[in-house]
Amino acid sequence: MAIDTIKWVNGAVRIIDQTLLPEKLVYINCRDVKTLWHAIKELKVRGAPALGIAAAYGVLLGIKDFKGDSTPQFARHVCDVCDYIAKSRPTAVNLFNALGQMRLLVLYNPDKPVAILKAVLEAEANAIYEEDRAVCRAMGKHGAALIKNGMTCMTVCNAGALATADYGTALGVFYAAKEAGRKFSVYSLETRPLLQGSRLTAWELMRNKVDVTTICDNMAATVMKNKKVDIIFTGADRIASNGDAANKIGTYMLAVLAKHHGIPFYVVAPKTTFDLKIKTGKQIPIEERAPEEVTHFGLRPTAPKGVKVFNPAFDVTPNELITGIVTEYGIVRKPYVKNIHETFRV
């Protein structure tokens, strides 16, 4: 599990370049906010909680070179940096929640000197990082109780150590179950088009000696029918007040298949992935990415030149297909509107 996906080191954001996995494990240092912005956009760093942390540290990069001692000017600059980072990727609400926290600190402290505000912002970014480590462990503990000896599990995309500051959300459940001595196996969907399932999830589960089998996305129904899948865990990028959950494209398909086969379908996500300002999943902005991600496999074309492409990076699973949402506070079940609000006491 010990893998430093993202860390603030000597005034730089050190990340694993996840586009190079599983072939190479390469760390890169983002020393300015523009480099970090592109790393987010290109999925060198990815996964909702890691994006929240990257955004917070991105603010530190953006204020590094601010000269002067005018607090109002500094506050405007922090807001500009936040606006810039907010344009990197639209779906994972963790990114916006972290930026909101950083922004509020300067707006609520108009009388503090710039030097103090810089220190406060750094402490806040580090707190966001540390909080994610703690909540991964709490979610893992709650979710692991659902895994019994001999179970066959399934997951999609990568909601593991590579998506968080610790051992992940959905994959954290597997790690916690393994730590508790449970024996189980995992089917990991490869997750077209960018293969986070086969490149990242299979890589980190194998590294941590979890029994994992990679399958193509279109094999999920057959595996459910013939191999007896007992339970499914996925991550989320944004969960609405009613429990509708956006996650990597293909998650909705998996939930529909799970219902057909009578398989419990759990979403694992911390409070920072909830967007309680929105009522339903219809309000979640879904990122659409470049057509080349679908028409090419690396440099090799896999579709005719000029073909029309639709490439949404996420889909929304309606709450009725979700058996439960594993959070750091425990497992939230239906009715979601009431129970989500009670869990987070809003």
Nearer to ligand MRU, 212 or 236 (CB): 236
Tokens 């949404």, residue located: 312
Asked if 241 interacts with ligand MRU (CB under 6 A), we say no
Using the rule CB under 6 A, is 162 a contact of ligand MRU?
Answer: no
Span from 57-65, 112-120, 144-152, 235-243 in contact with ligand MRU (CB under 6 A): 235-243
Q: Of 118 and 131, which has the nearer Cβ to ligand MRU?
A: 131
* Member of 173, 313, 322, 325 binding ligand MRU (CB under 6 A): 313
Q: How far is the CB of 23 from ligand MRU (least distance, A)?
A: 17
Quote the CA–CA distance of 85 and 94 in Å, as a whole number. Answer: 12
Among 135, 159, 224, 245, binds ligand MRU (CB under 6 A): 159
Token pair belonging to 220: 């999920």
Q: CB–CB of 326/231 below 8 Å?
A: no
Judged by CB under 6 A, the residue of 12, 49, 132, 190 near ligand MRU is 49
Span near ligand MRU by CB under 6 A; candidates 5-13, 47-55, 68-76, 125-133: 47-55
Of 105 and 159, CB closest to ligand MRU: 159
Contact with ligand MRU (CB under 6 A): which of 44, 46, 77, 118?
Answer: 46
**Does residue 250 bind ligand MRU (CB under 6 A)?**
no
Give the number of other CB atoms < 10 A from CB of residue 80: 11
**What's the rounded Cα separation, in Å, for the pair 257 and 277?**
30
> In angstroms, rounded to a whole number, what is the distance separating the alpha carbons of residues 46 and 33?
16
Establish whether 237 is a catalytic residue: yes
8 A C-beta contact, residue 314 and residue 248: yes
Asked if 343 interacts with ligand MRU (CB under 6 A), we say no
Annotate 22-54 with DSSP letters as a single string: TT---EEEE-SHHHHHHHHHTTSS-SHHHHHHH
Q: Is 291 left (phi over 0), alpha (psi -120 to 50) or beta?
A: alpha
DSSP one-letter code for 314: E
Least distance CB 199 / ligand MRU (angstroms): 10
Strand order in the sheet with 6-9: 6-9, 12-16, 27-30
Beta-bridge partners for 265: 232
CB of 340 to ligand MRU, least distance (A): 18
Of all residues in the shown chain, the one whose CB is closest to ligand MRU is 235
Among 21, 92, 102, 135, binds ligand MRU (CB under 6 A): 92
Site for ligand MRU contains 201 (CB under 6 A): no
- 315 scored as a contact of ligand MRU (CB under 6 A): no
Instruction: List the catalytic residue out of 132, 166, 217, 237.
Output: 237
The distance of closest approach from Cβ of residue 201 to ligand MRU in the complex, given in angstroms and rounded to an integer, is: 9
Kindly state the smallest distance separating residue 65's Cβ from ligand MRU, in Å.
29
CB count, 10 Å around CB of 139? 29
Structure-token pair, residue 193: 């088009």
Among 247, 295, 317, 323, binds ligand MRU (CB under 6 A): 247
Binding of ligand MRU at residue 48 (CB under 6 A)? yes
Q: Cβ–Cβ contacts within 10 Å for residue 321, how many?
A: 19
Count Cβ atoms within 10 A of the Cβ of residue 330 and give its class: 0-12 exposed, 13-18 middle, 19 or more buried: middle
Cα 210 to Cα 1, 57, 119, 140, distances in angstroms: 11, 31, 41, 15
How many angstroms separate the CA atoms of 39 and 62, rounded?
15
Residue 181, C-beta contacts closer than 8 angstroms, at least 6 positions apart: none
Residue 248 interacting with ligand MRU (CB under 6 A): yes
Binding ligand MRU (rule: CB under 6 A), the pick from 217, 237, 275, 315 is: 237
Residues in contact with ligand MRU by the rule CB under 6 A: 43, 46-49, 92, 157, 159, 163-164, 168-169, 196, 235-237, 247-248, 313
Q: Which residues are catalytic?
A: 237
